Structure 1
Amino acid sequence: MKKLISIISVSFVASPIFANSASDNKSAQSASINIKSQPNIVLIYADDIGYGDLSSYGAKQVNTPNTDTLAANGIRFTNAHSAAATSTPSRYGLFTGEYPWRRRGTGVANGDAALIINPDRVTLPKVLQQMGYTTGAVGKWHLGIGDKSGEQDWNGHVTPGPAEIGFDYSYIMAETGDRVPCVFMENQRVVNLNPNDPIHVSYKENFEGEPTGKDNPELLTKLHPSHGHNQSIVNGISRIGYMKGGRSALWEDENIADSITVHATRFIERNSDKPFFLYFGTNDIHVPRYPHERFRGVTEMGHRGDAIVQFDWSVGEIVKALKKAGIFENTLIIITSDNGPVVDDGYHDGSVEGLMDHKPWGPFRGGKYSNFEAGTRVPFIVHWPERVNPNVSPALISQIDMTATMAVLTGFEKTDKIPDDSQNQLNAWLGIDISGRDYIISSAGSLSILTRVWKYIEPSSGRSYNPLTNTELGNSSDDQLYNIVTDRSEYENVADKNPQIVEEMKKLLDFEKKKGINLEL
């Protein structure tokens, strides 16, 4: 018991277990790291793919051969976590290295939200830019764009955006699939926009004469909403928010994967003669799920299962492009997801009926939006033929470490500009260290803190269950403590049996809450 308590003690600064934590860990150059050249870096960031959604992680009802091949020839992590249980805050943590719960305004962003990342701060793409990388962002964004929410001029150059936080090139969805405006933006201008048909967006009221899913269900030719998502209709699917105009620029949902995959592979082709970083944020498998017709029906799991196969196809196209360019061996590929799974997230798409024995959450409890483990425990695959040997790693790792780890990998020296939340975990990524972090903090309304043995969820007044998404949210007015090794499904709350552990976890969480408050870079 004393040993367990020492692991989570707030006096960890003096503990050898925590000696290389936080900022010290960011700058530590392990003697075992000997990088011959700067690798190309491809980060494939899936949307809503859960721990149990890939066949390499145990799925039986769906096959993901392209992803599985990378997992079999790289390192497949079994204890990796996103920074939050929803999209926007996870991406914020990914690019800034700062826990999103430290910052107001990092919740799920509306389609007309301003850019939530301060352009003046150090970010993951800026680190790589300074180290000579050409940087590109392709696919889902959902971090806001422009300087004022609701005041963007969608018919011109919208700034600040990807360029201001470090991307040399961007081809992104304006925000996310179920929110207007439903257009692509290339280098922060709407693609294929007819200036005689300008775009107007509102999240307050509809535009006169524009149909909605609520009032005009007869116009919903592709999907019907199950809850919410009943405002403006775009391409036969109703969305969140109101939009008019921009008809020539609207995407077709079944072509989103093709469009962003083509632009991702073109970025690889254009930059194959120099180091590059590609952030490839897939729309799959976020709602509205409406895969291309060549994928519809390839599983018996409805659109959700078919979208997983479509995601895997995109992974295969990235690999093909890298091999064609002759740079596959020296490319670091990371595949992970922004949060855990959800089945019905607002549309009738056959996913609930087709779930069968498939368990998107794997052996864990909860899912997207949840404090329970499936909210943030996600697939995480590292593939780098020149440096990584095939393995399965139990190391505790977090996407919050992306910035600090990439900084060490590439030799970035201004590590004092990277938040202490982000730690250098390169040895874990390379399979040298199978322990990883001492603890991580996750957010889903309330906060939880996870070590390699214990998980503590702080008391919350939030509801415990969301009937719309059929998700256990993990909120309780009581302290919750789980031995995550012996009870990974989090069904036995042992807080009453371990008051000292609870007290230490609370102190550590309180310490983290107090440090870095109002941190500005």
Structure 2
Amino acid sequence: MKTKFKISKLLFLISMCTVCLCCNKITGQEKPNIIIMMADDLGYGDVGCFGNKIIETPNIDQLASDGAKFTQFYSGHYTCSPSRAGMMSGRTPYRNGIYAFIADNSVVHLKDKEVTLAEICKKQGYDTGFFGKWGLNGNMDDKTQPTPSQQGFDSWLATNNNAIPSHKNPTNFYFNGKAMGEMKGYSSQIVVDKAMQWLGSRKEKTKPFLLVLWFHEPHTKLAQPDKFTQKYAKYGKIAGEYYANVDHMDHQIGRFLDYVKKENLEDNSWITFTSDNGPLNREGRSTNGLRGYKARLYEGGLREPTVMYWKGKIEGAKVIDEQLTFFDFVPTFYDLFGMEPMNNEPLDGASMLPALEGEKVERKTLPIWVGRWKTTLINDEWKIIGKFEDFVPGTSYNDYLTNRKIVRYELFNLKKDPYETQDLSKANIDKLKEMKLLIEERVRSVQKEIVPWNGQWVLPYDVVKYYNPNVPPYSEFSKLSPEEQDLMKSKQ
């Protein structure tokens, strides 16, 4: 009887230890520093470790060599603001009302109800800093729109959108809510300088930190020091300037990583580099053969050149082929910290920790990407793209988003055809039926959360122009009231 009791007690203690370990995967000093760097409009084939033979990117390449490169890492959307919302919230951006890039002075913003990466880390005692292109509100001066401060960041230097007038001497940075006016230098250099300054000024340097560095480069309007421009002058103005801009961004990344190493932060830091979406369809940009580009749901618009390094966990020049997404960061953070989600909003990702150990990621729900006229879903090697019914004149844009149906499909096998050259929707009817059920269910899930915005510039001009080719030139359209703009949008 005593033996049975001892065995039962032992089993109970073992089970309790297992529960504790699962509920708190890392504690104290084991919590890693987390650094997430992101380029803007960088193509899948625009860095050396992803096949580029012209642009010199030794620092990004070294991260891949030290750590791992991810061959199937997908952004949160095919344009900037929605993609960033997807990473910050773990939710496909149409769930939180960000349908296109957020124009200056727009009412659109990442809402307070969304739990961000920074808020998760704050719960775990992290210092949090953001530096670069925010892209998640329309006006830093509008007190009704959350800034990085309200989204969990202790300190930040950010623009609400692109650098103005270019990457050189930008005039639209805000530092912790205060307009900075003209800042001398180049965007990537400025944000790296400020990030290093923040790291050096932290009062408790033993605390872990989350540092988000979202570069403006290589989004237009491009600018970089002359020595980089001259280096690629033989390739012509359009391509050469792009190559130079990426090279300069990589140089600044090198400065930052040198600082991280010098300050002995490297050994306990999980470092990521990626891009927010695919490149413009313009000379010099590369998807390494993938179909499509920015603003398209084909692989070239969504698949990003992603590398990570984390000593002892992600190292040794690994190549990880698992399909991962921006939506996976939030669930990964919860898993990493052994946390339950901080709200009940549906997430569209899964923890990527198994993939870092060479195991398959188990997804309860599949990630869904929704765009202005199409939607897509990937299930293992199969990818389906659905074309929504056309916008009907006289229908509000919100009603259209909430109720639109898919009317046509494309089907691809990414394992056999990663370049999406062969539509199998007619050749594989059974698989098409299976994938249709999956994507239609996920679209309905997103449509349930769509909420209307009240105010100006819900859609940027180029999107309005898509829905109504007859809108007047931007200079005239921008002077119309929100009501007149909405009326114009409905008159396709």
Report TM bin, short chain: 0.7 to 0.9
Secondary structure of the residue aligned to 2:134 is: coil
- How far off its partner does 1:451 sit? 2.0
Aligned residue for 2:246? Answer: 308
1:86–1:444 Cα contact (<8 Å) kept: no
Cα distance in structure 1, aligned partners of 2:222 and 2:87? 24
- Whole-Å Cα distance in 1 between the matches of residues 91 and 68 of structure 2? 25
Q: Tell me which of 419, 422, 427 is aligned to 2:349.
A: 422
Q: Is 2:62 the partner of 1:62?
A: no
Match of 1:175 in 2: 161
Aligned: 1:166 with 2:92: no
Query: Secondary structure of the residue that 1:319 maps to in structure 2?
Result: helix
1:328 match: 266
| Offset, 1:491 | 1.4
What's the offset of the Cα at 1:102? Answer: 2.6
Letter in 1 for 2:288: G
Tell me, yes or no, if structure 1 residue 296 matches structure 2 residue 224: no
Superposition map of 1:200-211 within 5 A: none
> Residues 152-211 of structure 1, C-alpha deviation per residue, up to 9 Å, x if partnerless?
748xx78531111111111012321368994110011101xxxxxxxxxxxxxxxxxxxx
Q: Would you say the 8 A contact 2:23–2:339 is kept in 1?
A: no
Find out whether 1:250 has 2:182 as its counterpart: yes
User: Corresponding residue for 2:179?
Assistant: 190
Flag the 1:477–1:279 CA change in 2: closer, same or farther, 3 A.
Answer: same
Is the contact made by 1:92 and 1:106 (CA closer than 8 Å) also made in structure 2? no
8 Å CA contact 2:109–2:146 kept in 1: the answer is: no
Return the alpha-carbon distance in structure 1 between the equivalents of residues 263 and 367 of structure 2.
38
In the alignment, the residues of structure 2 paired with residue 61 and residue 114 of structure 1 have an alpha-carbon distance, to the nearest angstrom, of 41
1:390-469 paired onto structure 2 within 5 Å: 390=316, 391-414=318-341, 417=344, 419-428=346-355, 430-434=356-360, 439-445=366-372, 446-460=374-388
Aligned residue in 2 for 1:286: 219
Q: Aligned in 2, Cα 1:258/1:389: closer, same or farther, shift over 3 Å?
A: closer
Distance 1:384 1:483 in 2: 32
**Does the CA contact (< 8 Å) of 2:165 and 2:171 recur in 1?**
yes
Is this contact kept in 2: 1:75–1:381, CA < 8 A? yes
CA contact (8 A) 2:94 2:450 kept: no
TM-score when scaled to structure 1?
0.72
Could you state the TM-score of these two structures normalised by the residue count of structure 2? Answer: 0.76
1:516–1:460 distance in 2 versus 1, CA, 3 Å = closer
Using a 3 Å threshold, how does the CA distance of structure 1 residues 136 and 487 change in structure 2: closer, same or farther?
same
SS at structure 2 position matched to 1:395 = coil
5+ residue gaps, structure 1: 1-26, 147-151, 192-248, 345-351, 464-475
Instruction: Kindly indicate whether the alpha-carbon contact (under 8 Å) linking 1:87 and 1:108 is maintained by their aligned counterparts in 2.
Output: yes
Sort the Cα spacing of 1:456 and 1:414 in 2 relative to 1 into closer, same or farther, 3 A: closer
Query: Is 1:267 paired with 2:253?
Result: no
Distance 1:414 1:161 in 2: 22
Equivalent position of 1:19 in the other structure: none
What is the SS of the residue equivalent to 2:436?
A: helix
- 2:71 corresponds in structure 1 to 78
Give the 3 Å change call, closer, same or farther, for CA 138–114 of structure 1 in structure 2: farther
Greater share of helix: 2
Structure 2 unaligned regions, length at least 5: 1-18, 392-405, 452-492
Q: Aligned letter for 2:133?
A: K
2:295: which partner in 1? Answer: 369
- Secondary structure of the residue that 1:273 maps to in structure 2? coil
2:209 matched to which residue of 1? 276
Work out the CA distance in 1 between the residues paired with 2:24 and 2:358.
8
Question: How far does residue 343 in structure 1 lie from its aligned partner after superposition?
Answer: 4.7
Larger Rg: 2
Deviations 1:114-158, CA, capped at 9 Å, x for gaps: 461112332111011111011111001111155xxxxx748xx78
Q: Secondary structure at the match of 1:485?
A: coil
* Cα separation, partners in 2 of 1:369 and 1:332, compared to 1, 3 Å: same
Is 1:110–1:179's contact at 8 Å kept on the other side of the alignment?
no
Aligned residues of 1:97 and 1:402 also touching (Cα < 8 A): yes
Residues 153 and 69 of structure 1, relative CA distance in 2, 3 Å threshold: closer
* Alpha carbons of structure 1 residues 144 and 188: separation in structure 2 relative to 1, 3 Å: same
Q: Is the 8 A contact 1:332 1:382 kept in 2?
A: yes
Partner of 1:487: 417
Deviation at 1:436, TM superposition (A): 6.4
1:91-114: CA deviation from partner (whole Å, max 9, x where unpaired): 111111111123434311111124
Aligned pair count?
405
* Deviations, residues 344-379 of structure 1 (Å, cap 9, x unaligned): 4xxxxxxx3xx3xxx611121001001211110001
Contact kept? 1:268, 1:322, Cα under 8 Å: no
Contact 1:137 1:172 in 2 (8 A): yes
Indicate if the aligned counterparts of 1:127 and 1:407 stay in contact, CA closer than 8 A.
Answer: yes
Counterpart contact for 2:91–2:327, Cα < 8 Å: yes
Offset, 1:411: 3.1
CA drift of 1:330 comes to: 0.4
Paired with 1:413 and 1:103, the residues of 2 have a C-alpha distance of 21
Which of 489, 497, 501 does residue 431 from structure 2 map onto?
501
SS at match of 1:511: helix
TM-superposed deviation, 1:516: 5.4
CA contact (8 A) 1:29 1:408 kept: no
Q: 1:162 to 1:332 in 2, by over 3 A?
A: same
2:133 alignment partner, one of 115, 127, 140: 140
